[in-house]
Amino acid sequence: MPEVKKIATRDSYGNALVELGREHDNVVVLDADLAGSTKTAVFRKEFPERHYNAGIAECNMMGVAAGLATTGMVPYASTFAMFAAGRAYEQVRNSIGYPHLNVKIGATHAGISVGEDGASHQCNEDIALMRTIPGMVIINPADDVEARAAVKAAYEHEGPVYMRFGRLAVPVINDRPDYKFEIGKGVLLRDGSDVTILATGLCVSAALDAADKLAADGISARVINIHTIKPIDEEIIIKAAKETGKIVTVEEHSIIGGLGGAVSEVLSEKYPTPVKRIGMNDVYGESGPAGVLLAKYGLDADGIAKTVKEFVK
């Protein structure tokens, strides 16, 4: 088996910002003393005059980004998901969301794959929080290809965008010539007839591996990548519900309010279908190696396959 290429989507974020900075003079990057970790330091190296460090003060950083946006700049405000969506929630809501300003939020180190830092830094609530803000677009890319595409699509989109990136290097699964990224459009990655697995972020790769395992057990699982949580692709979800009868959602996030919540809301109103949500089950994470944590909380291929198998039985 050939070695699978792995890249953390936070690296993709930094690299895509550099490309974007070369194309557009009005791109400006803000960070909150985490430029080395969020990878905006790569941008700073090439464009020091367009990179500003707000220091450890995320609330002000979001407000400064809002102010910059009112003047036609396109700020990418960057910090860990915990602080972008958590600490600065109200600033994002009132200073960015309410005036619908053109601010892009690059939130790295989302979910439990942060690993050893532990629960205080493992944000499993950001998608839920950001979803409640009217007009906010939420993108949770699955790999390097998708993350870079998302950073550029966010620039083209007029209005606030929340992008979620991970610390952990993850397999590149979208490296194909016909790959196309469109905000709000789910991607069918594998067809199947017994059940549909709707996955987002780093769980997409694990869901594909889980589908392989399920096939060996005679279960045909469709796998769809929902990279945009908001606006969500209702059409692809309802179609999958109609055709496969059962839906499983997989995310490195609380099962409350994230992908599982969004999908349940769509289906309960438009096409009631049994749904199983896989994610953090209303608990905090903990310290440990990322891979071990993902396995412990049932988010690796084995865990997903096991849950799906019990659900379709």
Partner 1 sequence: MANQIRKGIIEGTHAAGAGHPGGSLSSAEVFTYLYFEEMNIDPANPKDPDRDRFVLSKGHTAPGLYATLANRGYFPVEDLKTLRHLGSKLQGHPSMQYLPGLDMSSGSLGQGISAAVGMALSAKINHKSYRVYTLLGDGELEEGQVWEASMFAAAKKLDNLVVIVDNNGLQIDGKIEDVNSPYPIDEKFAAFGFHVINVENGNDMGQIDAAFKEARTVKGQPTAIIMKTVKGKGVSFMENQAGWHGKAPNDEQYAVAMDELKKVEEKLCRK
The DSSP string of 31-57 is ESS-HHHHSTHHHHHH-GGGEEE--S-
98 binds partner 1 (CB under 8 A): yes
Stretch that binds partner 1, among 92-100, 199-207, 291-299, 301-309 (CB under 8 A): 92-100
Q: b/e map of 48-85 (b: 16 or more CB within 10 Å)?
A: eebbbbbeebbbebbbbbbebbeeebbbbbbbbbbbbb
Using CB under 8 A as the binding rule, whether residue 35 contacts partner 1 is answered as no
Question: Quick one: which of 1, 2, 3, 72 contacts partner 1 (CB under 8 A)?
Answer: 72
User: Can residue 29 be called a binding residue for partner 1 (CB under 8 A)?
Assistant: no
Say how far apart CA 267 and CA 167 lie, in whole Å. 32
Q: Does 64 bind partner 1 (CB under 8 A)?
A: yes
Task: Single out the catalytic residue among 58, 146, 251, 252.
Answer: 58
Interface residue with partner 1 among 7, 33, 100, 238 (CB under 8 A) is 100
Cβ atoms 312, 219 nearer than 8 A: yes
Least distance in Å: CB of 72 to partner 1? 7
Residue 58 appears among annotated catalytic residues = yes
- End-to-end alpha carbon distance in the chain: 32
Selection from 66, 62, 15, 5 nearest residue 38 by Cα: 15
| Sole window of 13-21, 87-95, 213-221, 291-299 interacting with partner 1 (rule: CB under 8 A) | 87-95
Task: Write out the residues near partner 1 by the rule CB under 8 A.
Answer: 28, 49-50, 52, 54-55, 57, 59-60, 62-73, 75, 90-91, 94-95, 98-100
Q: Which residues are catalytic?
A: 58
